[in-house]
Structures are given as C-alpha cells and as structure tokens.
Amino acid sequence: MNTEAPARAISPSAASPFLVFTTSLCAAICVAGGFGIVFEAFVISVAGQFGLGHTFVLAASGVVALGTLWLAVWSFARSWHVERRLRQGLEVDEPKLSILANFRGE
C-alpha cells in the first residue's frame, strides 16, 4: 500500500477568492465564538456567585463583546493573510496584532 502523498504543486488559481473568504469567515466565527462563549459564561457565573447584579453583567458583557468582535476581525484578517501567503508559495510568518498589517500583507 502506498502511503505517500503525491508531490504536486497547488496552482495559484486553485483557491478561489470565495473559498478563501469562506474559510477565513469560518475560522473567525469558530475562534471568536469560542472566546465569547467561554468568557461570557465566566462573567455570568462570577455575577451569580458574588451577587454583582445586572449592571455588572451588562458592563462586563460589553467588554466581552468588544473583545470578541476584535478577535473575530483579527482572526479573519490573519486567515486571509495566511491563505494569500500560502497561495504565493511563501511560508507562514509570525502573527501580528495589527489587523491592518494582516490585510496589507506586511
């Protein structure tokens, strides 16, 4: 039985922009969604445990929502950047915290 993968190069046109967009969007939803669910559960459990009230839950939920939104946009930009580099035949570089740097390809 042959277990070797065929050595074939992926052509630059193999991944359509729609496929890259879909992959990046799914990665952003999974990463940021998981982050948001875990931290929101933490906020609600802390509020219930210490009796912090409705105002704390709203304020902390706002902070979690902003963090989740930033992480979703960053994950999308990073995935888009990585897909673009792989299509060009380049190696994946170190992640940057800047969303714009990932979109520009820096």
Residue 86's pLDDT is 87
Q: How many domains does the chain have?
A: 1
Instruction: Please report whether residue 32 resides in a domain.
Output: no
Is residue 17 domain-resident?
Answer: no
Contact 103, 81 (CB under 8 A): yes
Cα(78)–Cα(74) distance, rounded to whole angstroms? Answer: 6
Residue 58: give the domain boundaries: 37-104
3 is a domain residue: no
Whether 21 is covered by a domain: the verdict is: no
Residue 85 within a domain: yes
Rounded mean pLDDT, 8-28: 78
Confidence class of residue 8 from pLDDT cuts 50, 70 and 90? Answer: low
| Tens digits of residue pLDDT in 52-90 | 999 999 999 999 999 999 999 999 999 999 988 888 888
Report the pLDDT value the prediction gives residue 10, as an integer from 0 to 100. Answer: 53
pLDDT for residue 6 is more than 70: no
Q: Average pLDDT, whole number, for the chain?
A: 88
Single out the residue of 62, 55, 65, 68 nearest to residue 28, CA to CA. Answer: 68
Confidence of residue 9 (pLDDT cuts 50, 70, 90): low
**Residue 105 predicted with pLDDT over 90:** no
Whether 11 shows a pLDDT value over 60: the answer reads no
Indicate yes or no: pTM above 0.75. Answer: yes
